[in-house]
Amino acid sequence: MSSQFTLDQIQLQLDRFPPEQKTRSLQAWDAADELLIRYAQQHLASADTPVLVVNDQFGTLACALHHFAPVQWSDSYISQLATQHNLQQNGLSPVQQVASTEACPDFVAVLLKLPGNHSFLRYQLRQLKQHLPDGAPLIAAAKAKDIHANLLQIFAEEIGSVSASLTEKKCRLITAVCDKKLPVPTRPQFPLTWPVELPTPQGPVTLQIINHANVFAREQLDVGARFFLQHLPQVQSGQRVIDLGCGNGVIGLAVLATEPQAHLLFCDESFMAVQSAKDNVNACFPTATRCEFLADDSLSQQADLSADYILCNPPFHQQQAVTDHIAWQMFADARRVLKIGGRLRIVCNRHLGYGEKLTRLFGGCIHVASNAKFSVFEAIRRK
């Protein structure tokens, strides 16, 4: 079932992604999308193409502004799939889609949805400023609660003078005017690097980790991953292991530190996460030639019965929306992709009840370890 989007003369059927997810109370757009669409209608002419749409989560901007020949620039492979789905169901032709790890494409105007973290915002603003003419506006939109003095200061430091509109339907527009004389801030520099200690049979080893701007836990190892590292399985030479939702790849790196002859697939829906994992393997294990790196929607591109081990620290939110459908998809995909006798090992917040979910899906699961906040479970594909 699709949701009807209506704004002025625009009527569209828009889904979140995946379209069959059960969280039907959530829309594929918000008032920030509406503000950006109205701005484009009022201030841009159809000849002002291409319009760059940044962080267009489900393709609302690409569909509503299709006549502006929009180019979509984001860090999300799932956003690209959602946009393709919504364009197709509205009978609209494909648009150009550019990953965050690729160079920012040329544009005449830019419309930006506020991303989830400020480091990524700074990275994007620096890239965009290289293409903005002096005195040109950059238009962004976000929920009013997210627009505060610190956020506006980021725009002022990275682009130039900034102002915010009055609140409309709990959202506001931000207008930043490009000042080419404004120096690029010296900090933070991207990508970030920091040390992490990994356990090995010979004792702990310290590696320098590379994190691109939109990767979770950008300056230190998150506590869930730290606990997971204490309870990783013993992988055998030649086994195929998938680091699902790999982030910077630290879990897969720990596997390589213990068994360098394992076949590792680093998989994430974030282009910057996949690039971080690739950069880390190349820097820390340059002789590891059995590694693959893939942006994917969970494991949708993986063959059935093809993996010996899948390791996962599943998210429990999509952007600001708390939902378990991503974890469910990861678990279901893992069961399909695992060989008979293959194992899925996860770490999760104790309150999420993922052990029960694994039991329902796999017919049982093993409780490996717990602390005050996290649990580690393992499920085996029996048939």
- Indicate the number of domains in the chain: 2
Which regions of the chain are under pLDDT 70?
A: 1-2, 20-25, 217-218, 316-323
d(CA 228, CA 295): 23
pLDDT by residue (tens digit) across 273-306? 999 999 999 999 998 889 999 999 999 999 999 9
Strand partners, 4: 13
- Tell whether 206 and 300 lie within a shared domain: yes
pLDDT by residue (tens digit) across 326-382? 889 999 999 999 999 999 999 999 888 899 999 999 999 999 999 999 999 999 999
Cβ contacts of 51 within 8 Å, gap of 6 or more: 40, 44, 65, 68, 69, 70, 71, 107, 108, 109, 110, 111
Residue 1: predicted pLDDT: 47
- Tell whether 210 and 151 lie within a shared domain: no
Sequential DSSP letters for 88-115: HHTT----EEEETTSPPPP-SEEEEE--
- Listed as own residue / partner, the contacts of 125-128 with beta carbons closer than 8 Å and 24 or more positions apart are 125/154, 125/155, 125/158, 125/159, 125/176, 126/158, 126/184, 127/103, 128/52, 128/54, 128/104, 128/159
- Residue whose C-alpha is closest to residue 353's, from 320, 316, 312: 316
- Tell whether 324 and 205 lie within a shared domain: yes
Task: At 117, list the tokens.
Answer: 């973290």
d(CA 99, CA 152): 26
- Tell whether 288 and 336 lie within a shared domain: yes
d(CA 121, CA 380): 41
pTM, to two decimals: 0.94
Residue 318: predicted pLDDT: 43
Which of residues 177, 206, 223 is at a domain's end? 177
Strand partners, 194: 209
- Tell whether 254 and 281 lie within a shared domain: yes
Residue 21: predicted pLDDT: 59
Task: At 274, list the tokens.
Answer: 């996949």
Domain residues for 138? 3-177
- Tell whether 148 and 237 lie within a shared domain: no
CATH number of 341's domain? 3.40.50.150
Q: Is residue 184 part of a domain?
A: no
Q: Is residue 93 part of a domain?
A: yes
Report how far apart the first and last C-alpha atoms of the chain are (Å, whole number): 33
Residue 10: predicted pLDDT: 95
Residue 325: predicted pLDDT: 78
Q: Is residue 186 part of a domain?
A: no
Which of residues 110, 142, 177 is at a domain's end? 177
Q: Is residue 327 part of a domain?
A: yes
